[in-house]
Structure 1
Amino acid sequence: MAGVQDQLEIKFRLTDGSDIGPKSFPTAASVATLKETVLAQWPKEKENGPRTVKDVKLISAGRILENSRTIGECRSPLCDVPGGVTTMHVVVQPPSTEKDKKAAHLPKQNKCVCVIL
């Protein structure tokens, strides 16, 4: 039975409500590994799919999961049912454009205006 407990059934819910999976993963697998799986199995007919692992964010139990952590470290005892399927939400972060990069380096201007009557 220890082998079964070391595995999690995970399905990935996309923003349009469709799913990838479920698929079984060892609890020692990293979040980056999950993202690679999502990237590899992303439906080809869907527009605006992720291009790299950096474009994918996984959310489980309301938390954004960090690439360096393992699935076992990210488990929520309230949400994970033994023998059940864990649903992780997938958010695709659109790639930043050159315009966005340039705007990030500009100082922010104060738009507050005071009127004295």
Structure 2
Amino acid sequence: MAGTEEQFEIKFRLTDGSDIGPKSFAAATSIATLKESILAQWPKDKENGPRTVKDMKLISAGKILDNNRTVGECQSPLCDAPDTVTTMHVVVQPPTTEKEKKAASETKQNKCLCVIL
């Protein structure tokens, strides 16, 4: 790999079974950048799409990928074969309503803790 950076072919599987990609990404590409790419390519006709990158989680090989990691760090050894396309699953968190936020904050305030020494 003298002078050339390793490239990964990645497609993103949405919850309805449709795909975005495949597209080629450098090994140094961050997971946050992948999410920005997904957000830009998200089909406009799909309901409940993500509004920001924080609304998405990427899963690869059964692991939720951290935004600060790179594609090269997250690849499984099974993806080392040449000319393979890696599939990452995209999970979109549903937007929370003001009512849900208020209920969550109220339950946190009513907690009781006991410590036995």
- Alpha-carbon distance between aligned partners in 1 of 2:6 and 2:79, rounded to the nearest angstrom: 16
- One-letter code aligned to 1:15: T
Structure 1: gaps (5+ residues)? 110-117
TM-score, normalisation: structure 1: 0.84
Aligned 1:29-48 pairs, distance under 5 A: 29-48=29-48
- Alpha-carbon distance between aligned partners in 2 of 1:61 and 1:80, rounded to the nearest angstrom: 13
Question: Residue 75 in 1 paired to residue 58 in 2?
Answer: no
SS in 1 for 2:81: coil
Q: Alpha-carbon deviation of 1:79?
A: 4.3
Aligned length: 108
- One-letter code aligned to 1:54: K
- Alpha-carbon distance between aligned partners in 1 of 2:96 and 2:84, rounded to the nearest angstrom: 37
The superposition leaves residues 5-56 of structure 1 with CA deviations (integer Å, 9 ceiling, x where unpaired) of: 6110000001111100000000100000000010000011111111100011
Aligned residue in 2 for 1:60: 60
Aligned residue in 1 for 2:28: 28
The superposition leaves residues 63-99 of structure 1 with CA deviations (integer Å, 9 ceiling, x where unpaired) of: 0111011111111113453220000001111121111
CA RMSD of superposed structures (Å): 1.7
Aligned sequence identity (%) = 76
Moved over 3 A (4+): none
Aligned residue in 2 for 1:95: 95
- Alpha-carbon distance between aligned partners in 1 of 2:87 and 2:70, rounded to the nearest angstrom: 16
- Alpha-carbon distance between aligned partners in 1 of 2:89 and 2:40, rounded to the nearest angstrom: 16
TM-score, normalisation: structure 2: 0.84
